[in-house]
């Protein structure tokens, strides 16, 4: 084909699936002698410059969300500590009443596992509120006055 015939050649625009950014299509000449049409080549336009208010708004929203989540986490941790302290007080009341308690007593009192009962008892021993009597395997815990 020569240059003077290009203007007379019919063109066809082939649709392209939309992407995140708009695509500019340039019509390509269609060769009438072959059954397949030439597919247009998409040209990506340059991204539009962002305004200065959009990043600030987004970062403020992120900060608000971050602050909200942080406050929820602080409240949840405070509630957990409060509940744990209540359980430790229950153990102390039982120890004061019985004078000596075992891990099994704590498990039955609080409906907790063996490991959790042990953690509670060790915490009270570290605080000086209970003393351990006997070997770790057959430990009994005595209330400290």
Is 80 exceeded by the pLDDT of residue 66? yes
Is 70 exceeded by the pLDDT of residue 7? no
pTM: 0.57
pLDDT in tens, 46-63: 666 565 555 556 677 788
Question: Domain map of the chain by residue range?
Answer: 77-143
Position of tokens 């200065």?
A: 52
Q: What is the pLDDT of residue 8?
A: 58
Between CA 15 and CA 136 the distance in angstroms is 78
Report the helix count and the strand count for the chain, using DSSP H and E.
4, 7
pLDDT in tens, 8-45: 555 565 555 555 555 555 655 555 555 555 555 566 66
Write down the mean pLDDT value for the chain: 79
Between CA 89 and CA 48 the distance in angstroms is 63
71 phi and psi angles, rounded to 5 deg: -65, -40
CATH number of 77-143: 1.10.10.10
For 132, the enclosing helix (H) or strand (E) is strand 130-133
């Amino acid at each position: 084909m020569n240059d003077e015939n290009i203007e007379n050649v019919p063109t066809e625009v082939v649709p392209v699936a939309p992407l995140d950014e708009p695509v500019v299509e340039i019509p390509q000449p269609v060769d009438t002698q072959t059954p397949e049409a030439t597919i247009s080549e998409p040209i990506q336009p340059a991204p539009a410059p962002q305004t200065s208010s959009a990043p600030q708004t987004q970062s403020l929203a992120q900060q608000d969300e971050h602050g909200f989540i942080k406050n929820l986490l602080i409240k949840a941790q405070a509630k957990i500590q409060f509940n744990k302290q209540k359980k430790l007080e229950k153990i102390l009341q039982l120890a004061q009443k019985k004078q000596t308690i075992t891990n099994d007593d704590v498990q039955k009192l609080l409906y907790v596992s063996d490991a959790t009962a042990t953690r509670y008892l060790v915490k009270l021993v570290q605080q000086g509120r209970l003393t351990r009597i006997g070997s770790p395997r057959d430990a009994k815990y005595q209330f400290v006055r």
